[in-house]
Amino acid sequence: MKTPLSTLLAEKHSNIFSVSPSTTVKEAARVMTDHHIRSVLVLDQGNMLGIFTERDVLRRVVMGDLNPSTTLVETVMSKDLNTATPSTLVHEALNVMGDHKHGHLPILKDGKLVGMISVSDITRYIAQSFENEAGSLWSYITGDDPHTVLDLHEETT
C-alpha cells in the first residue's frame, strides 16, 4: 500500500491533544477520558517533550504506586518518541509502531507537529481500502453496483 500518512491526516480530525510537563497525571488522565483518547502529547511552548499514554499510567503510576494527584506527567511520560512525516507511507508507519510497540505516532512536517496517527487510524483506513477494493472487484465481475447486497437465500427460493 503506497499511501502516505497525509491521506489519513486529511480524513481525520486535526485535534492534537496535549498537556504541559507540569500537568499532574490525574489532570492528564481527565483530558484523555474527556476526549476518549489513549494518549496526550507533552508539549512545552510548542516543543514536543514526550507522550503520556494509558500504558504509562498502568506501568509507571499504578505499578510504581505513585499518587496521580501529585505526580507530574514529565516524570512518567515516554520520552523516546518515534515520529513520521506526512510523506511516510502507511505500511512504514505501521512497521515502526509494531516494532516499537507504539499505539501513536506524532507526524512532523519541517520539524513542526502537524498531527498524530494511531494504530486504530491505520486499521480503519486499511479496512476501508479493502472494502472499496472488494466493491470494485464485485462491480467489475458482475457489472452490478458494488453497494448492492445480495441475499442468496432469497434468490434460491
Residue 155 is assigned to a structural domain of this protein: no
In a domain, 150, yes or no: no
Whether residue 28 is contained in a domain is answered as yes
Report the domain count for the chain. 1
Query: Is position 156 within any domain?
Result: no
Reply yes or no on whether the pLDDT at 58 is more than 80: yes
| 146 in any annotated domain | no
Q: Residue 17: what pLDDT?
A: 94
Short-list 13, 5, 11, CA closest to 85: 5
Strand partners, 133: none
pLDDT of residue 30: 97
Residue 151 lies in a domain: no
In a domain, 132, yes or no: yes
Q: pLDDT of 123-144, one tens digit each?
A: 888 888 777 676 777 677 777 7
The boundaries of the domain holding residue 91 are 5-141
Averaged pLDDT, 59-72: 97
26 contacts: CB under 8 Å, gap ≥ 6: 68, 69
In the chain, % of residues over pLDDT 70: 87
Task: Look at residue 85 and tell me whether its pLDDT is greater than 90.
Answer: yes
HEC readout, the chain = CCCEHHHHHHHCCCCCCEECCCCEHHHHHHHHHHHCCCEEEEEECCEEEEEEEHHHHHHHHHCCCCCCCCCEHHHHCECCCCCECCCCEHHHHHHHHHHHCCCEEEEEECCEEEEEEEHHHHHHHHHHHHHHHHHHHHHHHHCCCCCCCCCHHHHHC
pLDDT averaged over the chain? Answer: 87
Q: pLDDT per residue over 24-50, tens digit each?
A: 999 999 999 999 999 999 999 989 999
CATH number, residue 30: 3.10.580.10
pLDDT for the residue 157: 47
Q: Is position 149 within any domain?
A: no
